[in-house]
A and B are shown apart, each in its own frame.
Chain A
């Protein structure tokens, strides 16, 4: 297993740069970025940071790459204790909201940011009265089913077309699995966000009146019941949601090893799909399955958020502004094979250096992004989204494991969310 040359050179260059940076003058602004990669976001950012540093000799940027779980768990604690990084690549904005830095006073052209990144800036804001700019989205992701086309071809089952429901997909996947002796038909990442897309499609509304924690409703229950059933009858790989007591777990390796026919994940996996599967089998992205609530996945993505504790707010803003500029952002998206969060770029066609399969997949992801419902956007950006997701995942996992009944799970989800809401708002 060897790293491909460009990546290796990048890492070597980064190492040299880091070492060289140590000799920097004492009054250089020192920026630390805590970063996690879905594919290669951190190395790509390093390359851009190096370029930036060449033009700004008095700014030194260090990128700490670490696992997703760790950013989720450690960075908020560090920030609370007052010794966090200057910037972090974060997907759970609610957790770091108390510490984020409003960049507006430091940005040369805040209006450009509003124009180019408007809708997703809301994700980092704490409410309708908040108009600050707190960071830059490093991608726009959309969840979608990824299909092992080879297995479907083998089984002679057509891939469900646009407009097919989740029941259609489950049935097709199970049929394919049986015909090709694959262990499981589907796998979903162990993530509340992943679950929410189908839930919304099935009619979940998540929000009732403002200020009240969201409630488990008919649509949510319908999807949960189906999901648990599929896990228990072998359509879905139970292992993914049940085997870990808590936390995020993806099923990518199972898919890459041909153990699943349909994998509900999302666009951030593109780089990994290209690299790891290669031409092992044919894979395509499917349209979002439908239901009474629409045909939607969930939008998302991680963003670089700036923090109040930084000693160099101006420099932090400069670097983020550099990344946000259209040409640099476009290049960044191409390097990382990500969908842009930049509205202008979304209209343009970016020249992704991908295989034909990758290009087709990217086009499909973009099409799926177009069918995202406003509710999905709202859910993703809500301050309570993460506790809601976590509660859903933990309790439904318990139901799948047979520890509690589904009804008990519903009660618990509501109670957990209320509890988190109370704790957050305790003054």
Chain B
């Protein structure tokens, strides 16, 4: 008992000592700096890390995208100007990746576009439906809410492996099919099927998060409004369309923005689930960048950097459009 107590006391003293360490320098700073500047001291470390690991890389990215060759160090890379961008965008027909010089890039773009459109839309629908259901008087709501949220916590590798196990040729899904008298299906071997499953798995893994956001939004709608609707004996569908949905818009937009940003950057689960296959049916943009820069035998860092910048550009445009939409809606509200 005394050992623990002494240890506790020792730790306490250590903690107090550590806490007091910045005291002296802080007082010095307070003495010497004008009031406002103190803020910089506190925000400094965070900003420094941002600077080194977020802004600096972007600048370097710009440089890399103009270089060629296979060396990692910028000093050893020959300058090629806009050659990387040119080869990425060289297409006879932008809708047919096969006509492009960098066909894998364009496969990735169209795959990602299809994926984002489908996944965000379906995710929104299902999250909304679930949030609406959970908003009702449900016994065990906490349990159901937790159950829907659980997959969000799982690592993407775990998520992918779980579904890989289920979708195997001899997996439990095919067992169910065979049990029902049907033929087993090669779920991950067909292009359309594999694509569909990547959409499904990513929705499965993230839906809970958005459901919670929408649920909070629903619960924030003041009750008076519903009372007023009850006065007018409005039918439930009109209540939903005219009252619930508009008031939920801010939350819906949060879901759309976050969901879109995440969907465009999809990688982890798909990489483990299908590796981009079959062929390149489930190769999305981030995997293309990863393959080009890190896992092909001839590492083309410059090309990967150029593709990354194009991706960032697309994302920026999409987000700005959405934010403008949000602002417009906000203004409309008054």
Which residues of A pack against B, CB within 8 Å?
Answer: 72-73, 76-77, 80-81, 92, 94-95, 238-239, 242-247, 386-387, 390, 397-398, 400-404, 408, 412, 415, 419-420, 423-424, 426-427
What are 18 inter-chain pairs, A to B, with CB distance below 8 A? A72-B295, A76-B299, A80-B71, A92-B297, A238-B189, A242-B189, A242-B277, A242-B278, A244-B275, A244-B277, A245-B275, A245-B287, A246-B295, A401-B277, A420-B298, A426-B70, A426-B78, A427-B78
Determine if B300 is an interface residue (Cβ-Cβ < 8 Å): yes
Q: Are B280 and A390 in contact (CB under 8 A)?
A: no
Checking B71, B103, B282, B297 against A245 with a beta-carbon cut-off of 8 angstroms, the contacting residue is: B282
Considering only CB atoms, which chain B residue lies closest to A183 in the complex?
A: B169
User: Which chain B residues in 272-301 approach chain A with CB under 8 Å?
Assistant: 274-283, 287, 291, 294-300
Q: Are A80 and B73 in contact (CB under 8 A)?
A: yes
Q: Are A412 and B287 in contact (CB under 8 A)?
A: no
Q: Shortest beta-carbon distance, A272 to chain B, in Å?
A: 21
Q: Are A243 and B191 in contact (CB under 8 A)?
A: no
Q: Shortest beta-carbon distance, A90 to chain B, in Å?
A: 12
Q: Give the CA-CA distance A80 to B279 in the complex, in Å.
A: 30
Q: Are B98 and A243 in contact (CB under 8 A)?
A: no
Determine if B68 is an interface residue (Cβ-Cβ < 8 Å): yes
Q: Are B189 and A77 in contact (CB under 8 A)?
A: no
Q: Which residues of B contact A81 (CB under 8 A)?
A: 72
Q: Which of B73, B78, B295 has the most CB of A within 10 A?
A: B295
Q: Are A386 and B297 in contact (CB under 8 A)?
A: yes
Binding site of B, secondary structure by majority: helix, strand, loop or mixed? Answer: loop
Q: Are B287 and A423 in contact (CB under 8 A)?
A: no
Q: Which residues of A contact B169 (CB under 8 A)?
A: 239
Considering only CB atoms, which chain A residue lies closest to B101 in the complex?
A: A415
Given contacts A80-B73, A403-B191, contact A243 B277 (CB under 8 A): yes
Q: Give the CA-CA distance A404 to B279 in the complex, in Å.
A: 9
Which residues of B pack against A, CB within 8 Å?
Answer: 68-73, 78, 80, 98, 101, 103, 169, 186, 188-189, 191, 274-283, 287, 291, 294-300
Q: Which of A72, A77, A243, A245 has the most CB of B within 10 A?
A: A245
Q: Which residues of A contact B277 (CB under 8 A)?
A: 242-246, 397, 401
Considering only CB atoms, which chain A residue lies closest to B186 in the complex?
A: A239
Q: Are A247 and B299 in contact (CB under 8 A)?
A: no
Q: Are A398 and B69 in contact (CB under 8 A)?
A: no
Checking B70, B282, B297 against A390 with a beta-carbon cut-off of 8 angstroms, the contacting residue is: B297
Q: Which residues of A contact B103 (CB under 8 A)?
A: 412
Q: Which residues of A contact B298 (CB under 8 A)?
A: 387, 419-420, 423-424
Q: Give the CA-CA distance A80 to B278 in the complex, in Å.
A: 32
Q: Which residues of B contact A245 (CB under 8 A)?
A: 274-280, 282-283, 287
Checking B276, B295, B297 against A387 with a beta-carbon cut-off of 8 angstroms, the contacting residue is: B297
Q: Give the CA-CA distance A303 to B60 in the complex, in Å.
A: 36
Q: Which of A72, A94, A398, A400 has the most CB of B within 10 A?
A: A398
Given contacts A246-B275, A412-B103, contact A401 B191 (CB under 8 A): yes
Q: Shortest beta-carbon distance, B95 to chain A, in Å?
A: 15
Q: Shortest beta-carbon distance, B193 to chain A, in Å?
A: 12
Q: Shortest beta-carbon distance, B82 to chain A, in Å?
A: 15
Q: Are A427 and B69 in contact (CB under 8 A)?
A: yes
Q: Give the CA-CA distance A80 to B299 in the complex, in Å.
A: 11
Q: Give the CA-CA distance A244 to B101 in the complex, in Å.
A: 23
Q: Give the CA-CA distance A409 to B277 in the complex, in Å.
A: 16
Q: Which residues of A contact B295 (CB under 8 A)?
A: 72-73, 246-247
Checking A73, A397, A420 against B279 with a beta-carbon cut-off of 8 angstroms, the contacting residue is: A397
Q: Are A390 and B296 in contact (CB under 8 A)?
A: yes
Checking A80, A95, A397, A427 against B297 with a beta-carbon cut-off of 8 angstroms, the contacting residue is: A95
Q: Shortest beta-carbon distance, A101 to chain B, in Å?
A: 18
Q: Give the CA-CA distance A387 to B258 in the complex, in Å.
A: 39
Q: Which residues of B contact A92 (CB under 8 A)?
A: 297
Checking B78, B188, B291 against A246 with a beta-carbon cut-off of 8 angstroms, the contacting residue is: B291
Checking A77, A95, A239, A398 against B294 with a beta-carbon cut-off of 8 angstroms, the contacting residue is: A77
Q: Which residues of B contact A386 (CB under 8 A)?
A: 297
Closest 4 CB pairs of A and B: A245-B276, A401-B279, A245-B277, A245-B275
Q: Give the CA-CA distance A246 to B283 in the complex, in Å.
A: 10
Q: Which residues of A contact B71 (CB under 8 A)?
A: 80
Q: Are A77 and B72 in contact (CB under 8 A)?
A: yes
Considering only CB atoms, which chain A residue lies closest to B107 in the complex?
A: A403
Q: Shortest beta-carbon distance, A404 to chain B, in Å?
A: 6
Q: Which residues of A contact B101 (CB under 8 A)?
A: 415
Considering only CB atoms, which chain A residue lies closest to B303 in the complex?
A: A423
Q: Give the CA-CA distance A95 to B282 in the complex, in Å.
A: 27
Q: Give the CA-CA distance A243 to B73 in the complex, in Å.
A: 35
Considering only CB atoms, which chain B residue lies closest to A417 in the complex?
A: B298
Q: Shortest beta-carbon distance, A68 to chain B, in Å?
A: 13
Q: Which residues of A contact B98 (CB under 8 A)?
A: 404, 408
Q: Which residues of B contact A95 (CB under 8 A)?
A: 297
Q: Give the CA-CA distance A80 to B72 in the complex, in Å.
A: 6
Q: Are A247 and B281 in contact (CB under 8 A)?
A: no
Add 20 more A-B contacts to A77-B299, A81-B72, A424-B70 (CB < 8 A): A242-B189, A242-B278, A243-B277, A243-B278, A245-B276, A245-B279, A246-B276, A386-B297, A387-B297, A397-B277, A398-B280, A400-B279, A401-B277, A402-B191, A403-B281, A423-B68, A423-B298, A423-B300, A426-B68, A426-B78
Q: Which residues of B contact A408 (CB under 8 A)?
A: 98
Q: Give the CA-CA distance A423 to B298 in the complex, in Å.
A: 7
Q: Shortest beta-carbon distance, B271 to chain A, in Å?
A: 8
Given contacts A77-B294, A424-B70, contact A403 B280 (CB under 8 A): yes
Considering only CB atoms, which chain A residue lies closest to B104 in the complex?
A: A394
Q: Give the CA-CA distance A92 to B291 in the complex, in Å.
A: 17
Q: Which residues of B contact A412 (CB under 8 A)?
A: 103
Q: Which residues of A contact B80 (CB under 8 A)?
A: 426
Checking B69, B73, B283, B291 against A426 with a beta-carbon cut-off of 8 angstroms, the contacting residue is: B69
Q: Which of A397, A412, A426 has the most CB of B within 10 A?
A: A426
Q: Shortest beta-carbon distance, A321 to chain B, in Å?
A: 30
Q: Which of B80, B191, B277 has the most CB of A within 10 A?
A: B277
Considering only CB atoms, which chain A residue lies closest to B103 in the complex?
A: A412
